[in-house]
Structure 1
Amino acid sequence: MQPVNIGMLIGAARKVPVILGGGTQMAPIMAAAVKLDPSILGNFMEGTTRWLLADPNSDLVKLVGSISPEIPIVNINMDYSESPYEGLQAYEWGYIKEGVGCGASAVAAVISSAGKIDCGALLDEVHSIYKAIINVD
């Protein structure tokens, strides 16, 4: 899987800006891609959540910085502390750090909408989907 991801990052970043999602799991992908093609630096970023950045068991900033200080880390500042759903509040308690690329997806939504989509809009949509998943009226 990693060789495919490395190739996809290099191929895409040569042509368009890329947002990587996956937190610390993307570090080896970025490291190998930059080693193989340093010209892609400046055309990709890591998108994540504040929960992952605040995780006391990892240091994404240091990890990515060790690859290159030119790799930006952009995070979305979602806040589930006042969510009506305890399952989402668990993010705030430190039980959940990431949501399968939710940070990168949220960053991409904000950027691609030129800010028309914001944390409030994302939170409303997350609540709507979460409610449907847990089947609560």
Structure 2
Amino acid sequence: MRRTIAAIIVAGALVSLPACGNNDANTDNGTSVTAESTTASSTKSTTVRSSSVTSTADLGMIDQAKLAAFVVAFRTAYPDLAQDREDESIQEIVFTSCNDIAAGVSEQDVTEEIRDLAANNDTEATQAQAEQIYKLVTPACP
């Protein structure tokens, strides 16, 4: 329970941080990370899943603060599922789930997909964890 409360507090702080800035210019520096470069640098074997979502434009605009808040909340609440994972791997849970929700996939089916996406090496998400992750994902969807 304390982890959940802490995750919510951190998520709330991260969501409100962009409101404090005054830099409205697009600061895209053209840097991108490919799946090949992230998996090549990893010492452990991880599964890289391909999503039909190639950018946030495909889903409307996913708020980057909400996406970052999800990653922090996920890492805080589920350290066993987040261990040795890149942020992009955790963000894929949001992209795929939001894509499914937008396509009209049922909550039960999205939750099952979350169980697969949240799995980390030999550690699998329980049904209860997947349901909680679903509740964390939905606010990030456009």
TM-score normalized by structure 2? 0.33
Q: Highest relative contact order (Cα 8 Å, sep 6+), 1 or 2?
A: 2
Structure label with greater radius of gyration: 1
Name the structure where helix makes up a greater proportion of residues.
Answer: 2
TM-score normalized by structure 1? 0.34
Name the structure where strand makes up a greater proportion of residues.
Answer: 1
